A and B are shown apart, each in its own frame.
Chain A
Amino acid sequence: MNSAKRFEIFRMFFSIVIALLVSFVLIFLVSKQPVEAIVTLITGPFKSKRNLANVVESMIPLIFTGTGVCIMFSANQINLAGEGAFHLGGLVASVCALQLGLPAGVSPVVALCLAALAGALFTAIPAFLKIKTSSSELVSSLMLNYLSLWFCTFILMHYICDPQVGAASFKLPAESELITLLSGTRIHLGLFIALAVAVFGYVFLYKTRMGYELRLTGENENFAKYSGVNIVKVILVSQLVGGMIAGLGGGVEILSPIYNRFSWTSLLGYGWDAIIICTLAKKNPIYTPLAALFLAYLRTGASIMSRSTDVTLEIVQITQGVIILLAVAEQFLSKTKHKMIAREAKASLKEEEAA
């Protein structure tokens, strides 16, 4: 491993430590039982099988949206429609499960494929607009998320709503549910799908021709163009694949044992969280499970802490915020990095003189 990579890992670790310290200080400031709160935050997730299972369950959607964002961001396509694609994927999978009446085994496969397709088409809208009108995908994708939310709510309320429950769909059939892997928990097959997706994302970006084109474009579009890469194709494919994975994630989530009806009437935020995952994973999908595990652990801990002490759940938001801030702040520890580089440059100057 070269020194630059080592430095990045060190920097990431340092960011997390600082973020946790900041959160601890805040807990001390606001809580009457700070030590207890911190201990619960850290050890809570290990306290019971259920808590531990909670961590794993909440990891799953994060891996999906995180991988999707890694792919789009690697191509420097700052498409934030993963949020809306996830939501839409959930709806499409639910509708398929409810309406198609397919047998067990087939039903979830078809539902998930269609969810992925819906997600892909959805995130392709900003890509298409960018190619045709050179509008910023950042702005159009942000706006589109609301379109997705209200479209899904409309379909929910008018076509699949169970009048006896209110703002939720009819009960999803058992045939479509993803099987539970561990009895007594809700850890489901989606975990394997998520891990497979992370591996797929890694292979796609780092081992295929297309992925190489994506990364070339993402790192230096001028260079990619000069080398003969078809930039239009990169813009489209990166966002199609990114949205496909986010849509699949939405489908997996809704078909999991955690939900038995489609009841999402507000955005769930997995699309935003994906940006944190992508930042922690340094845009490499293979690290998204680790990043998702960390975030899920932190959130489960915070949720337990908020239930058993006087510190609220939102404290993790601050931790996340500080991590992101430090991780993306290029100047953070830049002096240390510069010293390292200067030392190497001086050493090579001396070598040249000697030669």
Chain B
Amino acid sequence: MANEIVLEMKHIMKIYSNGVVANEDVSLELDKGEIHALLGENGAGKSTLMKVLFGIETPDEGQIIMNGQEVTIKSPQDAISKGIGMVHQHFMLVPSLTVAENIILGVEPKKGVFIDMKKAVDEARKIAEKYNFDLDVTAKVEEIPVGIKQKVEILKALYRGADILILDEPTAVLTPQETDELFIQLEKLRKDGHTIIFISHKLDEIKKICNRATIMRNGKSMGTYNVSEISTDDMSKLMVGRDVVLKFEKKPIELKNVMMKVRDLTVYNSQGVLKVDSLSFDIKGGEILGIAGVEGNGQSELIDTLTGINKKYTGEVDIKGEDTRKKSIHDIRNLKLAHIPEDRMVSGCASNLNILENMFSNQYQQPDYSGKVMLKGKVIQKRSEDLIKEYLVKCNSYKQNVGMLSGGNIQKVIVAREFSTGPDIIIANQPTRGIDVGAASFIRQRLLEFRDAGCAVLLISADLNEIFSLSDRLAVMYKGKFSGLFTDVGQVSEETLGQYMLGLKHDEELGGVIYE
């Protein structure tokens, strides 16, 4: 079969308004009738590239060529009219309307000024039959299961004449059975001549269904490969870039007192789902306790509770021997606790305030920096200039708004703020996510320095490399519990850790979680 190229994206560059370079010289080529995987970690730039293709974002450089002609895609409507359809990870359906109504929404068959509902139902049924989608088009969307909702999304795109279908992590919300069914349907669509872009980071699925894969890392394309010719190992290497092995000079551990004691901690989220399940652990000064785990297994809820953001829990959280239940976030911070938050833009900084203003939000009350009423402007200014130098924040001056800095530099501002209080306990949640190598290794080095100085560190990270090289003890969190705990981190292989992370392995008795 001669390869007919239906779509080319050439040298796409996209810079967001906060100066973050999300795509840097990325090229993508789609053959007609292929399932093309777009592979990469969170924040690698997959979604941005697809937003560019679907007309949600305008690229700063680069071309899009469809069927040999250069096109500009100004909006999603424009993309749809050119035969591009997108199924978002979070469904864009109106729950109170029926399946048929959702499918025809925006392109309704009309009878005068009214919608011809009979025809709508017929047409919806017809297209469902044409693609062999077995579903009841008169059911309300709010009443159908997730797997069917996804089919509705796909039908919606097909009804609008999509030849190229973008599926954004379509299996993330599906059960294994639903996934199998989806794959059969995708295969059918492919044979019908549709081209599918399959965004994922699940390697086995890509192996199973995709023809080619373009791998992205850090906003750049790492190349396009025939899936049959590349091993999952190589794919993961390209995706994660674990070829750079982290080596840190780690001093022998010197344990101090227990700094944080957690007993039978149970947390339900606002929807009433059990997120942390009677968890107990201790951290002593001078050690780093790493928590690995697939996102969403209760890590965020655990951290929110430890730092005082969440107050709805049962069990006990002690910091330096003091129960924190009645303590405000401010009180807990006063126990010399530093917290690097998971999402730096959501709660780690105020992007419209300048670097100085972002560096003192946790310590402006200290007598060094303010009196009872007034801030000591000069002292604060001097101190922030020093911190900018010490933490190598790349900026014009302390007056620059934090939102204008790159991700790595924003993270350095946050770390400078948190570390400059001389903490006894550091809670670092994804401290190096999505930042450049230099900044990441700088932050890791600092964490080790604090450990050596007798500080207790709790490190949550999705970066296995980081967690392996920093942790003194390593716990794996799965469904709100520790499924495993390793006191000898050097002896654990990535494979073993992965099995614990996915719940394939589970230790009932955990030795060494608490110090008695």
Contacts and interface: CB of A to CB of B under 8 A. Distances in A.
A6 B170 CA distance: 44
Interface string A115-147: 000000000000000000000000000000000
Given A220-B350, A223-B350, A341-B404, A209 B339 contact: no
B357 interface: yes
Contacts of A39: none
Contacts of A337: 17
A348 B19 CA distance: 10
Interface residues of B, number: 44
A342 interface: yes
B494 to A, nearest CB: 30
Nearest to B346: A222
B102 interface: no
A230 B330 contact: yes
A224 B349 CA distance: 9
Contacts of B404: 2, 4, 341
Contacts of A216: 350, 353, 357, 361
A223 B348 contact: yes
Interface in B360-406: 360-362, 364-365, 370, 373-375, 377, 394, 396-397, 399-401, 404, 406
Given A220-B347, A337-B17, A349-B24, A225 B352 contact: no
Nearest to B339: A226
Interface in A311-355: 334, 337-338, 341-342, 344-346, 348-349
B351 interface: yes
A110 interface: no
Contacts of B339: 226
Contacts of A230: 328, 330
A307 interface: no
A47 interface: no
A349 B218 CA distance: 13
B357 A225 contact: no
Contacts of A212: 357, 360, 364, 375
B361 A209 contact: no
B352 A345 contact: no
B353 A219 contact: yes
B135 to A, nearest CB: 40
A299 interface: no
Contact of A341 (B19, B332, B397): B19
A2 B328 contact: no
B60 interface: yes
A276 B437 CA distance: 46
17 contacts: A4-B400, A208-B374, A209-B370, A219-B350, A220-B349, A222-B346, A223-B348, A224-B361, A227-B362, A228-B328, A334-B17, A338-B15, A338-B17, A341-B19, A344-B19, A345-B15, A348-B406
Interface of B: 15, 17-21, 24, 60, 307, 309, 328-330, 332-333, 339, 341, 346-353, 357, 360-362, 364-365, 370, 373-375, 377, 394, 396-397, 399-401, 404, 406
Given A212-B375, A345-B20, 13 more contacts: A4-B400, A209-B374, A215-B353, A216-B353, A216-B361, A220-B347, A224-B361, A226-B339, A226-B341, A227-B361, A228-B332, A338-B15, A349-B21
